[in-house]
Amino acid sequence: MRAIQFPASALDAGNLPLIFSCSGIFASLLFRSLKKGRFPALRKTPGIKTTNPTGAMTTPDQRRRKHSGMTHDLFPRELLEPFDYDPLTRVVYGPGSIDRLGALSREYGALRVVLFTDPGILATGHIDRCLQSLTAAGIETTLFSAVQPNPSTDDVDAGVKVAREAQADFLVAVGGGSSIDCAKGVNFVLTGGGSMKDYWGVGKAKGPMLPLIVAPTTAGTGSEAQSFALISDAVTHVKMACGDKRASCRVAILDPELTLSMPRSVTAATGIDALSHAIESHVTKKRNSVSQSFSRRAFRLLAGALPVVLERPDHLAARGAALLGAHWAGAAIENSMLGATHALANPLTATYGTTHGVAIGVLLPHVIRFNAEVVNDLYAELVSTLPAAAIAAASGPGGPLSSAGEILAGFVTQVVRQSGQPVSLVELGVEESRLPELAQAAATQWTGTFNPRPVDAASLEELYRCAYSA
Ligand SMILES: [Fe+2]
């Protein structure tokens, strides 16, 4: 796929929308045709039959259409859905903005900070920069640099012990989603007592929590925009989603310079995960006009930036676009949750230790095709922002595809192939005989309940089979 070129002035975040919209003119001309299905079916959609297992449209869509007195072309259906948007996190963006960490912490009253990170980030030198900034601001800092990938209750317990000994009045996390989630988990237990399991669910915090400033070093989870901590039970390996508005970050420092140190494999896995967040959050049952604004913005940024950062990892403007895209996708999740792709991916990580973003890359195209039965028009909104070259590449030598869902699925597969990640479960070493068992586990995932097209163990197994040797 041809890389998009970013001018040096693109370092101004305000210019980014222009970069991605210029090459999307042709795509927007396609938009109406895609929504109305004007293109003949030149390629048969593989995978699941298009018949809805329930025999009916999803309830939210029925409701939206029933009460819609206006045309969808003029006003999105989501304007009939109420929302209560209460942003809790200040966003500080820009190359070099990590040097404001000390001043920002001081601004919110920090005296004794515990800084959470992982050994890999510690080795990059980013933490030295953070410590210098905190020290210059007169803040006493204790380092906790032992956070593991997919943090568990053991990580949280160890972090709580360190924070108690340091008499911390403020928390900082610098790293990927694991460090950020670990700091949030520590905050729950440190301020409310008990164990992490006591906070599994929504709104379980037991009082005020310590202020938390985070700086992501990957463009992936968007955890800095969310009030949820994902912590695995160290014994059962079940991932617990612990959410409370009080756990939200006070400040998110988005410094693209911090993401330059990511190895290509991490750039790929986290970036594809972020792309899935934009796509899944755009169509969930809980979507609303606020979440969709974030989703569309995130998709446009990520779809433009990922092919570039995979080829030119030192491209600071593209790194900035990916970081912002991942952040807005995280903000979308906070308002609309995720879908079946994540329900299917989690059992692969639990059973085979598959990297989250790698599992997502295999499964997402198949879930898009499955969901296109009920949300193809929403996928068309995303496809309309793709550059013409990307649409052509997604369509392949066979020419234009018949639906927005097919184009979007093809685009995701293109990015996954470009990244060098696997595109099938066979390549991941998944045993075909275990698909029913994996589907049973996927059917218990909370995130699946938000998928726009209902899923159950049977349909999830069928999706695994579509992805098996794709
Ligand atoms: Fe994810």
- Give me the CATH number covering residue 306: 3.40.50.1970
pLDDT higher than threshold 60 for residue 11: no
Ligand 1 mean position, distance from CA 357 (Å) = 7
- pLDDT, tens digit (0-9, with 9 covering 90-100), for 19-46: 333 333 334 444 444 444 333 332 333 3
User: Are 309 and 442 part of one and the same domain?
Assistant: no
pLDDT higher than threshold 70 for residue 1: no
Mean of pLDDT values over 64-85: 65
Structural domain that includes position 279 = 84-336
Please name which of 318, 366, 358, 328 lies closest in space to residue 464, comparing C-alpha atoms: 366
Ligand 1 mean position, distance from CA 275 (Å) = 9
Domain contains 58: yes
Ligand 1 mean position, distance from CA 360 (Å) = 7
User: Are 186 and 73 part of one and the same domain?
Assistant: no
Q: Which of 202-216, 259-273, 388-402 has the lowest mean pLDDT?
A: 388-402
User: Are 293 and 323 part of one and the same domain?
Assistant: yes
Query: Helix (H, G, I), strand (E, B), or coil: what is residue 272?
Result: helix
pLDDT higher than threshold 50 for residue 183: yes
User: Are 277 and 137 part of one and the same domain?
Assistant: yes
Domain contains 11: no
CATH number at residue 422: 1.20.1090.10
Domain contains 418: yes
**Which residue matches tokens 């949030």?**
184
Ligand 1 mean position, distance from CA 314 (Å) = 24
User: Are 95 and 25 part of one and the same domain?
Assistant: no
Say which residues have a Cβ less than 8 Å from residue 44's Cβ, sequence separation at least 6: none
User: Are 116 and 165 part of one and the same domain?
Assistant: yes
> Would you give the DSSP letter of residue 152?
B
Instruction: Name the amino acid, one letter, at 326.
Output: A
User: Are 76 and 90 part of one and the same domain?
Assistant: no
Domain contains 5: no
Ligand 1 mean position, distance from CA 309 (Å) = 19
Mean of pLDDT values over 269-283: 98
Torsions phi, psi for 240 (to 5 deg):
-100, 125
Ligand 1 mean position, distance from CA 404 (Å) = 22
Average pLDDT, the chain: 86
CB 89 within 8 A of CB 251: yes
User: Are 246 and 384 part of one and the same domain?
Assistant: no
Residue 3 has a pLDDT of 35
pLDDT higher than threshold 60 for residue 235: yes
Residue 6 has a pLDDT of 36
pLDDT classification of 68: cutoffs 50, 70, 90 = very low
Ligand 1 mean position, distance from CA 451 (Å) = 14
User: Are 308 and 349 part of one and the same domain?
Assistant: no
Q: Which residues surround ligand 1, an ion (CB under 5 A)?
A: 273
Ligand 1 mean position, distance from CA 221 (Å) = 6
Ligand 1 mean position, distance from CA 276 (Å) = 7
CA–CA separation, 78 vs 289, rounded Å? 5
Ligand 1 mean position, distance from CA 291 (Å) = 16
Q: Which of 4-18, 222-236, 360-374, 401-415 has the lowest mean pLDDT?
A: 4-18
Question: What count of other Cβ atoms lies within 10 Å of the Cβ of residue 157?
Answer: 15
pLDDT classification of 324: cutoffs 50, 70, 90 = very high
Q: Which of 336, 352, 374 is the last residue of a domain?
A: 336
Q: Which of 320, 336, 352 is the last residue of a domain?
A: 336
Whole-prediction pTM value?
0.83
Q: Which of 281, 310, 336 is the last residue of a domain?
A: 336
First to last CA, the chain: 21
Instruction: Name the amino acid, one letter, at 312.
Output: R
Residue 361 has a pLDDT of 98
- pLDDT, tens digit (0-9, with 9 covering 90-100), for 286-323: 999 999 999 999 999 999 999 999 999 999 999 999 99
pLDDT higher than threshold 50 for residue 350: yes
Ligand 1 mean position, distance from CA 59 (Å) = 25
Ligand 1 mean position, distance from CA 307 (Å) = 19
Ligand 1 mean position, distance from CA 406 (Å) = 21
Count up the domains in the chain and report the number: 2
User: Are 221 and 301 part of one and the same domain?
Assistant: yes
User: Are 348 and 464 part of one and the same domain?
Assistant: yes
pLDDT classification of 76: cutoffs 50, 70, 90 = confident
Ligand 1 mean position, distance from CA 321 (Å) = 18
Domain contains 49: yes
pLDDT classification of 470: cutoffs 50, 70, 90 = confident
Residue 27 has a pLDDT of 42
Domain contains 13: no
Ligand 1 mean position, distance from CA 169 (Å) = 31
Ligand 1 mean position, distance from CA 226 (Å) = 13
| Beta strand ranges found along 156-306 (DSSP E) | 170-175, 201-202, 212-216, 228-232, 239-243, 251-254
Domain contains 434: yes
Please name which of 344, 306, 326 lies closest in space to residue 428, comparing C-alpha atoms: 344
Ligand 1 mean position, distance from CA 345 (Å) = 9
Domain contains 88: yes
Ligand 1 mean position, distance from CA 165 (Å) = 33
User: Are 309 and 348 part of one and the same domain?
Assistant: no
Ligand 1 mean position, distance from CA 274 (Å) = 7
Say which residues have a Cβ less than 8 Å from residue 112's Cβ, sequence separation at least 6: 139, 140, 141, 142, 166, 167, 168, 169, 170
Share of the chain above pLDDT 70, in %: 83
Ligand 1 mean position, distance from CA 359 (Å) = 10
Share of the chain above pLDDT 90, in %: 74
Mean of pLDDT values over 195-223: 96
CB 330 within 8 A of CB 337: no
pLDDT higher than threshold 70 for residue 58: no
Ligand 1 mean position, distance from CA 323 (Å) = 15
Ligand 1 mean position, distance from CA 225 (Å) = 13
Please name which of 292, 298, 363, 350 lies closest in space to residue 328, comparing C-alpha atoms: 298
